[in-house]
Amino acid sequence: MTERFIDVPGGHLYSRTTGTGPDVVLLHAGAADSRMWDSTVEWLAPIARVTTLDFRDMGLSSRATAPYSEVDDIAAVLDAAGIERAVVAGVSDGARRAVAFACAHPQRVAHVVAAGAVFGAFPDPTSQEAAARAELHAHFARIVPLLESEGIAAYAAADIAMWGPALAPADRRKMEALQIANAYWIELPESLGAALDPPVTSRFAEVTAPMDVIVGGHDLASTRLWPAAWPTGRRKRRSSSCPAPTTSRCFPPAPTSNASCAPPWRSSGGGRP
C-alpha cells in the first residue's frame, strides 16, 4: 500500500493505492472517508490497483478554507498516483462526484459506476422528484434535532439506520464511527463547500464511458430516479437479486458467495476493468 498527502490549492488531500492491475478509483459517501472502502479494497486488490481518497473536510485531508472544485481534487489524486485512465466508482455523494469527473475528464474514465446516488438535483423537478426530495428532507428534519438533544452519536445511528438498514452490525458500527469522526462536515458552511457544476443528472449525455447506475431494492426514491435520467438510447437494464440498499456494497461478501452482488465489471461478462 502507498499512502500520499497531495498538495492542492488551499490544503492537501490524503490518498491510498493498493494492489496491482487495471486502475480503479473509489469515491466515498458524504459524511464518511476512504475507510468505508476498506473491505472493498481488500476484495479488489488481487485483480486491480485500487486508489481511494479523503475529500476535503473528511478523514486525513485538510479542511476547506475557500470554495474549491471536487473534480480538480480527483484529477490531482489521479495525477499523483500516475493514473492515466481508470474505472471511477462512487457511492451516494461519491456517485455524483464520479459522474461530474467523467463529464470533465472523459479521456481519463474507462467506466463509471454510480451506486446509491441521492445528491445532484434534477434540472426540472417533476412530481416524482419533488416527492423524492420531500422524503429526503423529512429524514433530515427528523434526525437533525438529535444533534442538539442527544449528540452526534445518536444522529449517526439514526442516519445510518436509514441509509443501510441491511448492514451487518459490525459494518453499521463502522459507518456510524466514520460519520462521528467526520462530524465537522455536517455543520460545514455552504460557502466553503465544493464548487458545484450544473446538476449531474442533466449531464448524463456528456458521459462517453460505459456507465452502471446501481440502485438497491430499498434505496430512497431519489436514488431510484437516477436510472430514468440516463439517455434512453444508451439504457440497458441489468437485474440483480441483491436487495440491500447500495450502502451495503461497501462491505461485499466473498466473491464466490454471492456473484449477483459483484461489481459490474465482474458480473457483466466484460472482463476486468
Per-range mean pLDDT, top range of 103-112, 118-127, 130-139, 186-195: 103-112
By the 10 Å C-beta count (0-12 exposed, 13-18 middle, 19+ buried), 14 is classed as buried
Task: Decide if pLDDT at 78 tops 50.
Answer: yes
State the pTM of this model: 0.74
Confidence of residue 260 (pLDDT cuts 50, 70, 90): very low
Q: Can you tell me which residue has the cell 461530474?
A: 100
At 132 the pLDDT is 65
- 168 Cβ contact partners less than 8 Å away, ≥ 6 residues apart: 251
What is the reported pLDDT for 197?
47
Strand 86-91 and strand 109-115: the pairing is: parallel
Residue-wise pLDDT for 162-214, tens only, equals 766 777 788 778 777 877 776 666 654 443 444 444 566 667 778 899 988 88
Domains of the chain: 2-123+191-267 (3.40.50.1820)
Query: Of 100-109, 120-129, 162-171, 234-243, which range is least confident?
Result: 234-243
pLDDT at 184: 65
More confident residue, 153 or 244: 153
At residue 23, what is the residue type? D
Question: How does pLDDT run across 158-172, given as a tens digit for each residue?
Answer: 877 776 677 778 877
